[in-house]
Structure 1
């Protein structure tokens, strides 16, 4: 086994999973989440599902 193939099997300290950024602006994520909630609520009431 070579040195480069030996490092390929070493687990990374932190693996990205496609979730929200950990270092991004939290307020933006919070506001976008509430906008999503309001849009879904409007859609549900307009379709008469509630």
Structure 2
């Protein structure tokens, strides 16, 4: 076996990227999510469901 064949066989394969890419700060998403939670809780309280 030649040296070149061994290096090609043991070369690590590139892995595909897993998961979503980070597209910016998450602070705005958290703020919007908690705002939605508070609004739904206020609506449920006003309707007498809670």
> Please, what TM-score do these two structures have when normalized by structure 1?
0.54
Root-mean-square deviation (Å): 2.2
Aligned to 1:30: 30
CA distance in 1: counterparts of 2:48 and 2:23, whole angstroms: 40
How many matched pairs? 35
Unaligned ranges ≥5, structure 2: 1-15
CA distance in 2: counterparts of 1:22 and 1:40, whole angstroms: 28
CA deviation after TM superposition for structure 1 residue 46, in Å: 0.2
Query: Larger Cα Rg: Structure 1 or Structure 2?
Result: 2
